Structure 1
């Protein structure tokens, strides 16, 4: 049979009261004694793990990504116009300074030189004749000077013709590798057009980009080491450290000069570049031990002799697989490696040495 609404309301009230008393019996059964006990008192200072770090004299390095580059790279261009008649230097070959890379057709340049030399001989004879006649009183001093000026002009004409003839031979400005040839036999070159590209690989440059936080530690003349992707290790010295940062990356260009006898190492290879920056006292700290204090300074927390925690700001000198080499700590320190973020300066701690 169906219950009336007033009966349903009474049953609901009774059910709520029964539930209330049941919950009170379960959660409130501790009684007054339980309330008197209150929260459990702390058992003692917090426990942290720490690792002893002793100072060592360490040769510090700045590590950066780099690449090999040619010490010099020049596009050798024609100084005169003409058709390429010969290309004696093979592309990719080593050439000596002064060796011909491209030779243009002589055309009428040799004839122009012969003509200039003939004019020079004629002017020399005229100058000699004018000098003899002047001695006999048949020529004035002005006429002698005019013949001398004509002789000087003829000599200049010979030099111009010689230079024009010499310019048909496009030569290497320094010893290096003729890396790319841009002109073939039959190519017409105007003044300024390229014959090819010459690069100097001995010595070789290893170029890196130092971050602005490290650039101040780099000095010209510092020893450096480059490890190529092949595993080959090259040793050299810093030649140049830029004073102006790249506007895009905010890094500073670093150039290391490395001997490359025989041009065995190519340009454009990736390398890991390490530059020595001197010797300093450093401590080895785990990467996870670094924290920030209330002022935003980076440092480590360590345990003092009296068992209290303390914070010391540090400067990261080098990152290695074993950890971070840092400066700013004095003497042997017990660096907190676990729990450093949960203790305050001056707080007593219990130490469990880290493994």
Structure 2
């Protein structure tokens, strides 16, 4: 018995000591402190939506071409005796300037012969008029009242007059041919190419070169039906003083630098292209080598240019960042004060690299989220951080403390209790 007591008594003492220590530790331990800040939601970047007016733009491309371009060709045949030093590829020419001259000796001889023929016809007409007067005098002296026209020499007089007119026509013809030995420029411009030189024999209609006017150049810009609607132009448009065409900004790289020129839409083409189903809008730039040039750099024919056409103006739209669009028509909106995410469907009117413009679904001042979010859902907890225009970041979701959580729980419980009491 004593042996059992000796074994059990130490065990009981140990149990009492351990239990007493646990009780004392539980009584005197410090209270558990709750963290003031609760776990935060996913941090996202957002930008504020802005209500504004939208000036639509249409961006297309086209090739510059001269409005007037002709092939220089002679109207007569002959050997080239003179070529203007300006009549070379790239040369500047003036209106009325002689570009090519043909040998004129043959045509000068023709003029001399024609003048001789005119003199002979004039002499024959004068003689015939004198004889007609004598015949008329003889008829009167003889008292003949019913003399025939032949007796009055009327047919002979008419023939002499006709011969004179024919001789004068021949003179005018050879004189015209002589004048055509000098081939002049019908307008001021530049030479695109030359295909004739001294000593070459040319025939009527043979190409001697190509020149174009430098007063106006034009660009044909193909537009789809949707793009034509954005410009606000009718299908059959021609610029007038009452209805001027929209402005067009042409741009391209020239000698490694970006150049711009300002033109206007003048008209639309007569019909749609049957292959592409596009309609061409014709834009023009006046004086491309002078006042219309960009710091002395002309918009020369042959350049391939980008063209931005001013379109319609739409009032009262909301601009959001282009990166805020999710797919075609969805946007994530951040409720900054409450730290919640909303998924909305918007009506996108137009979008560029500068932003997307919507007519509904987003209000002015709301935060459009630009950060990528996986598995997003309505009501998702987030922390909204606004990206300012200067690049700085501003938090828009306040941090919630334990006291805020308890207050929200109490308010929720109170509302639930009132609802339950009202239902009873």
TM-score w.r.t. length of structure 2 = 0.61
Q: Does 2:72 align with 1:72?
A: no
Give 1:351 deviation, angstroms. 6.2
Q: Secondary structure at the match of 2:104?
A: coil
Q: Secondary structure at the match of 1:231?
A: strand
Give 1:289 deviation, angstroms. 4.3
Task: Indicate if the aligned counterparts of 2:216 and 2:284 stay in contact, CA closer than 8 A.
Answer: no
Q: Secondary structure at the match of 2:305?
A: strand
Give 1:339 deviation, angstroms. 7.5
Indicate the residue corresponding to 1:183 in structure 2.
Answer: 196
Indicate the residue corresponding to 1:125 in structure 2.
Answer: 123
Indicate the residue corresponding to 1:9 in structure 2.
Answer: none
State the alpha-carbon separation in 2 of the partners of residues 329 and 224 from structure 1: 33
Give 1:183 deviation, angstroms. 0.4
Give 1:315 deviation, angstroms. 2.4
Indicate the residue corresponding to 2:171 in structure 1.
Answer: 158
Task: Indicate if the aligned counterparts of 2:230 and 2:311 stay in contact, CA closer than 8 A.
Answer: yes
State the alpha-carbon separation in 1 of the partners of residues 330 and 271 from structure 2: 34
State the alpha-carbon separation in 1 of the partners of residues 246 and 270 from structure 2: 16
Where in structure 2 are the equivalents of 1:34-183 lying within 5 Å? Answer: 51-90=47-86, 91=88, 92-137=90-135, 139-183=152-196
Q: Secondary structure at the match of 2:57?
A: strand
Task: Indicate if the aligned counterparts of 2:344 and 2:361 stay in contact, CA closer than 8 A.
Answer: no
Candidates 280, 286, 305, aligned match of 1:253: 280
Q: Does 2:219 align with 1:192?
A: no
Give 1:341 deviation, angstroms. 9.9
With 186-195 and 335-344 compared, the bigger mean Cα shift is at: 335-344
Taking a change above 3 Å as real, the CA distance of residues 159 and 350 of structure 1, as seen in their structure-2 partners, is farther
Taking a change above 3 Å as real, the CA distance of residues 192 and 327 of structure 1, as seen in their structure-2 partners, is farther
Alignment coverage as a number of residue pairs? 302
Give 1:56 deviation, angstroms. 0.9
Give 1:253 deviation, angstroms. 2.9
Indicate the residue corresponding to 1:287 in structure 2.
Answer: 322
Indicate the residue corresponding to 1:228 in structure 2.
Answer: 252
Q: Secondary structure at the match of 2:135?
A: coil
Gaps of 5+ in 1: 1-45, 293-297
Give 1:135 deviation, angstroms. 3.0
TM-score w.r.t. length of structure 1 = 0.72
Indicate the residue corresponding to 1:319 in structure 2.
Answer: 352
More strand by share: 1
State the alpha-carbon separation in 2 of the partners of residues 197 and 158 from structure 1: 32
Indicate the residue corresponding to 1:277 in structure 2.
Answer: 311
RMSD between aligned residues? 3.4
With 302-311 and 93-102 compared, the bigger mean Cα shift is at: 302-311
| Structure whose alpha-carbon radius of gyration is higher | 2
